[in-house]
Chain A
Amino acid sequence: MANETQTSFRNDQEVDFVIVGSGSAGGIIAKELSTKGFDVVVLEQGPFRKASDFTHDELSVLFLNELLGGGQKNNQQTFRDDESKVAVVQPNQPAEYAQTVGGSSVHFTANFWRFHEVDFKERSLLGPISGTNFADWPISYAELEPYYSRVDWEIGVSGAPGPFDPPRSRPFPVPPLPVKSSGALLEKGAKAIGLHAQPAPMAILSQPHNGRAPCINCGYCMSFGCEVGAKSSTLAAMIPQAMASGRCEIRAECAVFRVVTGENGRESGRVTEVLYYDPEGKEQAQKARAVVLSANGAETARLLLNSANSKFPDGLANSSGFVGRNLMFNGHSATTALFEHPLNDYKGVQVTRIVHDFYDSDPARGFYGGGGIDARPLLVSTPAMYALAGMAPDAPTWGKAFKERLAHDYARQMFVVGHTTSLALDSNNITIDPTHKDRWGRPSLRMTYKDHPDDLAMAKFLQGYSMQMLEAAGATQSWAMPVHEQNAGAHLLGTCRMGDDSGSSVVDRYHRSHDIPNLFICDGSSFVTSGRGQPTMTIMALAFRAAEHIAAAAQRNEI
């Protein structure tokens, strides 16, 4: 499916950059560097699907994990909630991300909240939190704002300003998507209890933009790829430009297993090449002047750790010991309700209204944390998932009455989801599993994770307001799904955090690793704090900014 005319480089030809991963960060950096004239090879472990390959096939996508590389059968990730335990391969994949060109920007729901000023300096504002690695970012919102605006315009974001939004230098390029019944009800409920709903900023086009077609309201965004390219994935918005540059080769189905550093002379302590399995499973090497890791906040850390050698025995770029630590998921709560009339929440994009009244942390609550709330068809977007997992607790599970409830309730149910901060902890981390291997034979990703009590408290706090809003909106029946400690995450953040101090961070403020001058890292792993639950907008803004600085350094011959 790859473009037949795409540029190709020889493996033994030293290219300017190898980028590992083609997702939210890798796709942008590939486009930026290649269009600035650098030769780029992107190694992506997933296949090169195009828009017309994406389906509404619930079985394949949700149950057989088509876009997740086949799920645990192939990936064999292990999980434990405490470092004293032996991690096991559980049925659901702990680090949930898409294996496909465009990465998780292909299958994500496309909520595109900017971080606020506080997200970058909350440690200074609130003080330390004992037992955590709570810290400020080395950069500010103002420093990142121009890149958020580039994401809005170059990636494509629909929306309208809201009352709690941070300042923006440019308006949204296209207006919000059409409001859904779930959004209208969230707004009604919010207003009734003194809160303020606003149109959701979404990385899905409401109108044609940059030559791309707008949304057709099919409803298959969350976990699915967009068949018309209206969802602003890097596959839709960046990869075509990268390939058109004539300087970027996207090598799909190529799974990197080691980043190699040189031993002698000029190459000592520098990255020289990247080793990977090609689509036939054969080992290959690609030489590069510099390497950018954008493999996501779980896989980037795993690759650095799996690349340990005699010079870097604890893994590459890990003199601080911070590689893999401080994994953050964002916490979540789910609350749901039935209404008298049909909402048909399976139609249209998932989210059309959000509530940001509780964005800031408030010491009066008695715990750290902030968050946002949205209305969406969490478990009513597709029929089988609904019948298996989404129905009311009093609904029969089989028989005539089950069938009647399905027919009546499916159109009338909606969910309100709370999204919270996660605190950075040493004990939440990515390491290498000592036993298991993935389908390529790479030592498995081992995840250790337990939500901080404040994260759970914040999720329950948001759930309380979610319930109030649903009831105030006129729900005929409402119920809360239990908030519990998570054993999987789709937001993979914090494992190679940026910072000015090389003793407590992995990359500098420009995403260059402290230890290896020609190794750059930019993806969710760069985060110092987790934000309020929608990280992709910030990953993309960081990627535009990182690419600018990497290119400038290369032009100055400072890599």
Chain B
Amino acid sequence: QGTAGAAFARTGMASLLALAESACTARDESAAFETLSQDEAREFEAIAARILPTTDTPGAREAGVIWFMDKAFGSFGAEWFADAKMGLAEFQAAVASEFPGAGRFSDLDESDQDRFLQTQQESGFFQLMRTGTILGFFCMGSYGGNRDDIGWKLLGLSGGHASWQPPFGYYDAEYVSQNDVQGERHGE
């Protein structure tokens, strides 16, 4: 079974998130963050928005990744919050040294943000932000991100992708048209 392969894939990732129940509270646009300070939220969101930027399609910002992070760092990912805070402090110090007087990362323009992130790609903090961004972009909306299924829609998945019918893709459609596989096609 693929679980061994999945285990292999998870190596090093399972530890990124602590294990706890996550309450699925309703999102409220006007609500304050429960876990993050305004400064943390602003910086984390700015980083997430460069990892999955807004282009001709919505990005991390529109998907509400920051709300996922707020929930994660307050519950199942709480054990990583201290690392995130410490990492942000170092990150901001490096921004201040690279761009004197420019303020915070979120104050930089996008090209400066990208140039700076190029220098941070190997850091644990960046990897944590990247993991949080991806999980927030693609995991179920009940965790605060993936608003309006923005993450799934990017990949061509619709809705909750509850069930599908063949043909599933180009090559099985081609196969069925070339082979006598009625039984398989229709599950007969």
Contacts and interface: CB of A to CB of B under 8 A. Distances in A.
Interface in B2-24: 2-20, 22
A384 B181 contact: no
A175 B164 contact: no
A71 interface: yes
B166 interface: yes
B168 A348 contact: yes
B156 interface: yes
A92 B14 contact: yes
A383 B138 contact: yes
A502 interface: no
Given A387-B134, A398-B51, A411 B3 contact: no
A65 B3 CA distance: 12
Contacts of A188: 171, 175
Contacts of B171: 181-182, 184-185, 188, 339, 341, 343
Contacts of B176: 179
A346 B184 contact: no
Contacts of A553: none
Interface string B151-173: 11011110011111110111110
Interface stretch (A212-220, A424-432, A513-521): A212-220
Nearest to B72: A59
Interface residues of B, number: 70
Contacts of A216: 162-164
Interface string A386-419: 0111100000011110111011001100000100
A72 B14 contact: yes
A484 to B, nearest CB: 8
The winner among B3, B11, B130, B165 for most chain A CB atoms within 10 A is: B3
Nearest to B185: A178
Contacts, number: 250
Given A63-B135, A218-B161, A219-B161, A199 B3 contact: no
A496 to B, nearest CB: 21
Interface in A313-352: 329-330, 332, 334, 339, 341-348, 350, 352
Interface string B80-92: 0000000000000
- Among B76, B142, B176, B181, the most chain A Cβ lie within 10 Å of the Cβ of B181
23 contacts: A73-B19, A92-B10, A92-B12, A175-B183, A179-B172, A179-B185, A181-B172, A222-B3, A341-B170, A344-B169, A347-B168, A379-B9, A389-B13, A390-B9, A400-B55, A406-B155, A407-B57, A407-B156, A411-B156, A486-B8, A488-B4, A488-B11, A490-B4
Interface of B: 1-20, 22, 50-53, 55, 57, 59, 76, 114, 117, 121, 130-131, 134-135, 137-140, 142-143, 151-152, 154-157, 160-166, 168-172, 174-176, 181, 183-188
- In order of increasing CB-CB distance, the 5 nearest A-B pairs are A341-B170, A181-B169, A184-B175, A181-B171, A490-B3
